[in-house]
């Protein structure tokens, strides 16, 4: 009777931490990549839209627009991964996917992508502009 070794299967119930992006590739596929490295978020506030009520000297701010951006990093990429991720950089549609599977459109900041070769592998960093935090105020 032949003997087979037991096989251990690990099922990861919690999705890994990071930022999962999906994008439309040149072939029409919806590609995906998990950026599990460091990320930096920043918020820039622009000048407020304001008005001055009749008969007063006071100006009232109506809205203070701003945007939040996130810089993503990926390291230890081989040549094939770099080739696949270059389709992200020129994709017409890039989405941020959350744990429930919801896709939120994001925009790649032009000129922010940087590939850096290191020890035979590559590192990639780029900046995403995220959607407005309160879409009702736009």
Q: Which tokens go with 99?
A: 């744990």
In a domain, 104, yes or no: yes
- Give me the count of residues in the chain: 138
pLDDT in tens, 19-62: 889 999 888 888 888 887 666 676 666 666 666 677 777 776 66
In a domain, 91, yes or no: yes
- Counted domains in the chain: 1
**Average pLDDT score over the chain:** 78
In a domain, 13, yes or no: no
Element at 134 (helix H, strand E): none
Domain ranges, residue 85: 19-41+65-137
In a domain, 126, yes or no: yes
Contact 127, 71 (CB under 8 A): yes
At residue 47, the pLDDT reads 64
What sign results for the dihedral spanned by CA atoms 84, 85, 87, 88? positive
Local confidence band at 123 (pLDDT 50, 70, 90 cut-offs)? confident
State the average pLDDT over residues 134-138: 52
In a domain, 33, yes or no: yes
At residue 50, the pLDDT reads 65
pLDDT in tens, 88-106: 888 889 998 888 888 889 9
Residue 102's CATH number: 2.40.10
At residue 26, the pLDDT reads 86
Rounded (5°) CA angle 53-55-61: 25
In a domain, 9, yes or no: no
Report how far residue 125's alpha carbon sits from residue 73's, in angstroms, rounded to the nearest whole number: 4
In a domain, 117, yes or no: yes
In a domain, 29, yes or no: yes
At residue 138, the pLDDT reads 45
At residue 95, the pLDDT reads 92
At residue 13, the pLDDT reads 45
Centroid of chain to Cα 114: 15
């Amino acid at each position: 009777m032949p003997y087979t070794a037991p096989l251990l299967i690990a099922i990861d119930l919690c999705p890994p931490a990071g930022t999962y992006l999906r994008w439309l590739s040149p072939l029409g596929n919806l590609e995906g990549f998990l950026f599990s490295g460091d990320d930096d978020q920043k918020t820039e506030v622009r000048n407020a839209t304001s008005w001055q009520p009749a008969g007063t000297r006071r100006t009232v701010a109506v809205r203070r627009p701003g945007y939040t951006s996130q810089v993503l990093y990926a390291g230890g990429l081989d040549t094939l991964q770099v080739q696949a991720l270059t389709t992200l950089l020129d994709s017409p549609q890039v989405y941020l996917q959350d744990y429930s599977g919801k896709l939120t459109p994001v925009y790649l900041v032009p000129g922010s992508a940087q590939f850096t070769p290191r020890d035979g592998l590559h590192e990639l960093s780029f900046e995403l502009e995220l959607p407005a935090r309160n879409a009702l105020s736009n």
